[in-house]
Amino acid sequence: MSPITLPARCDRATVESLLPDFVAAVGTGALRIDASQVTHVGQALLQLLVSARRSIESVTIDASPALRDAAAVTGLTVELFEETRA
- The enclosing H or E element of 19 equals helix 12-25
HSE of 55, CA atoms in CB hemisphere, 13 A: 12
Query: Considering only CA atoms, which of 5, 65, 77 is closest in space to residue 41?
Result: 65
Task: Please report, as a single letter, which amino acid is at residue 54.
Answer: R
Q: Residue 39 phi/psi, 5° resolution?
A: -120, -25
pTM of the entire structure?
0.91
Give tens-digit pLDDT for 60-82: 999 999 999 999 999 999 999 98
What pLDDT is recorded for position 29? 83
